[in-house]
């Protein structure tokens, strides 16, 4: 499928301005898109962000380093563990701190579990955007099992505040391993069912084949990262190419979009990369549960954290792309400046470039396939 080329037919028609959002079923949170439409076809699109600007970066300057941890949960609430993880890493980098091996393994386990649950929300809501409601509820149903696991681990279902600077808050409960493996065993058949219902459905494939293609060059130029970048056919994953934590000790593959039903980089590729990544994450969790050593879960840290003056940047692979924290310390107990680089912000910046010429139904598919989430854009 090709985008439409809009030509003025000289009939004296005018473009229609349409406000999509902030309350719209498929903007995934409070984002507004101002569309200029020619009938069903979009002529121009202008994102209006900032409806969820909660000044998280500014709040960081008012709080001590450990106290800021709960706020990182809210940077990307669908994958709070990954945000915790990234923040803990950057503070540890600043303080040149060693984290016990067991803690690193636990971090990777929870981060990958959270990646699965985040991708489940993503593919589920994407199905919902395309009009299939039932797959969305199946995704929500399966996600509850991960919520149960993480709730057993840290007591909360969504905003975990589990990773600590220098380690993690709790050790794995006794039955965690069995329950986690039992969950991973059920994930595979459930994904298969999901694929039969949605991914292999011809209507679904036809809706997405060749739609809203993001080329390799565009994706790199706009700084799109994570599954969206891999969907465009760029083989880049921080977990493998800039390994951190215990990722070098586990083996996994990096799925890359290959134009399965249409062109490389279309909406279906981005969706399909997420389905594949869930399976890879399941593999990582299995290996980590096998390899995890005994030992302490917290490094020795001073009672009041005062990192030396200086700055540090660290990036990790979060479900929505690279999550980078830039931290400036002035030697006091509070950060001088914190900057968070998120995947969704880059993803939303490419929408105005891709959108013109596509129909409104495709725009919904584009937004859904980029898996943007409001607080990551606005922070």
Partner 1 sequence: MVQSMKRYVGNVGNTTLTVLKGLRVTLINLFRTPITIQYPEVDIRQKDLKAFGYKGPLGPLPDRFRGFLHVNPEICIACDLCMKACPIDCIRIESTKIDKTTIQGKDGKAVNKVKHPVRFDIHLGKCMYCGLCVEPCPTGAISFSKEFEGATSTLNTLVVHFAEPKGLPVREATIL
Partner 2 sequence: MHYTLRNKLPSTALFTTVDAVLNWGRLSSLWYLLFGTACCAIELMQTGGPRADLDRFGAVFRSSPRQSDLLIVAGTVTYKMASRIKRLYEQMADPKYVISMGSCSNCGGLFDLGYSVLRGIDKVIPVDVYVPGCPPRPEALTQGLLVLQEKIRKQRYLAREA
Partner 3 sequence: MEIFLQEGLVLLKAALWAVALSLVMALVAGFLTYLERKVAGHMQARLGPNRVGPYGLLQFVADGVKLFLKEDLIPSDADAPLFRFGPYLVFVGSFAVFAVLPFGERIVATDLNIGLFYVLAITSIETVGLLMAGWASNNKWALLGAMRSAAQSISYEIPVGVSFLIPIVLAGSMSLQGIIHAQAGGFGLLGWNVFHNPFSLAAFFVGCTAMVAEINRTPFDLPEAESELVAGYNTEYSGMRFAFFFLAEYANIFVISMIAAAIFLGGWQLPSPFKDILPFGLVGSFVLLAKAAVLVFIVLWLRWTLPRVRVDQLMEVCWKYLTPMALVCLMGTAVWMWAFPGRIFFGLFGTA
Q: Return d(Cα 170, Cα 162) in angstroms, integer.
A: 7
Tell me the three state secondary structure of residue 15: coil
Q: Return d(Cα 236, Cα 228) in angstroms, integer.
A: 11
Evaluate the CA torsion angle 155, 160, 166, 171 in order and state its sign.
positive
Q: Return d(Cα 104, Cα 35) in angstroms, integer.
A: 45
Instruction: Mention every residue, 6+ apart, whose C-beta is less than 8 A from residue 110.
Output: 81, 85, 150, 153, 160, 162, 163, 168
Residue from 83, 169, 351, 370 binding partner 1 (CB under 8 A): 169
Q: Which is nearer to partner 2, 285 or 374 (CB)?
A: 374
15 binds partner 3 (CB under 8 A): no
CA 327 to the chain's CA centroid: 21
Q: Which is nearer to partner 3, 284 or 363 (CB)?
A: 363
- In order of 111, 128, 328, the CA distances from 337 in angstroms are 25, 39, 5
Per CB under 8 A, which of residues 24..63 are in contact with partner 3? Answer: 24-26, 39-40
**Which does residue 67 bind out of partner 1, partner 2, partner 3, none, counting CB within 5 to 8 angstroms by kind?**
partner 1
Residues in touch with partner 2 (CB under 8 A)? 22-25, 29-30, 50-56, 58-59, 62-63, 70-71, 73-74, 77-78, 121, 137, 140-141, 143-144, 147, 157-159, 374-375
Q: Which is nearer to partner 1, 113 or 348 (CB)?
A: 113
Q: E strands within 50-188?
A: 163-164, 167-168
201 binds partner 3 (CB under 8 A): yes
Interacting residues toward partner 1 by CB under 8 A: 63, 66-71, 134, 138, 141, 144-145, 148, 151-156, 159, 161, 169-170, 173, 193, 196-198, 200-203
Interacting residues toward partner 3 by CB under 8 A: 16, 18, 24-26, 39-40, 127-134, 137-138, 141, 197-198, 201, 203-204, 206-207, 359-362, 364
């Amino acid at each position: 499928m090709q985008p439409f080329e809009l030509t003025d037919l000289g009939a004296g028609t005018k473009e229609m301005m349409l406000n999509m959002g902030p309350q719209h079923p498929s903007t995934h949170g409070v984002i507004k898109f101002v569309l200029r439409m020619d009938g069903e076809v979009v002529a121009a699109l202008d994102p209006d962000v900032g409806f969820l600007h909660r000044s998280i970066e500014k709040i960081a300057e008012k709080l001590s380093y450990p106290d800021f941890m709960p706020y990182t949960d809210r940077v990307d609430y669908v994958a709070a563990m990954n945000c915790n993880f990234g923040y803990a890493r950057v503070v540890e980098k600043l303080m040149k701190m060693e984290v016990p091996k067991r803690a690193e393994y636990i971090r990777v386990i929870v981060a990958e579990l959270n990646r699965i649950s985040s991708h489940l929300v993503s593919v589920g809501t994407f199905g919902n955007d395309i009009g299939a409601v039932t797959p969305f509820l199946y995704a929500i149903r399966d996600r509850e099992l991960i919520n149960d696991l993480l709730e057993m681990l840290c007591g909360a279902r969504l905003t975990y505040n589990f990773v600590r600077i220098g380690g993690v808050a709790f050790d794995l409960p006794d039955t965690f391993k069995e329950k986690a493996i039992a969950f991973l065993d059920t994930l595979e058949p459930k994904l298969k069912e999901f694929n039969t219902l949605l991914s292999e459905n011809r209507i679904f494939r036809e809706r997405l084949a060749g739609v809203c293609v993001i080329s390799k060059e565009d994706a790199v130029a706009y700084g799109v990262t994570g599954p969206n970048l891999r969907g465009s056919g760029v083989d880049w994953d921080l977990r493998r190419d800039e390994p951190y934590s215990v990722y070098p000790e586990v083996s996994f593959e990096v799925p890359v979009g290959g134009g399965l039903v249409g062109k490389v980089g279309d909406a279906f590729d981005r969706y399909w990369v997420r389905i594949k990544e869930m399976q890879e994450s399941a593999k990582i969790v299995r290996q980590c549960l096998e390899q995890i050593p005994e030992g302490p879960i917290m490094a020795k840290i001073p009672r009041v954290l005062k990192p030396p003056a200086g700055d540090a940047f660290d990036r990790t692979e979060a479900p929505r792309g690279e999550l980078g924290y830039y931290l400036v310390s002035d030697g006091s107990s509070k950060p001088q400046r914190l900057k968070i680089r998120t995947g969704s912000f880059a993803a939303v910046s490419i929408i105005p470039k891709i959108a013109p010429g596509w129909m409104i139904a495709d725009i919904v598919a584009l937004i859904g396939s980029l898996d943007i989430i409001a607080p990551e854009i606005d922070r």
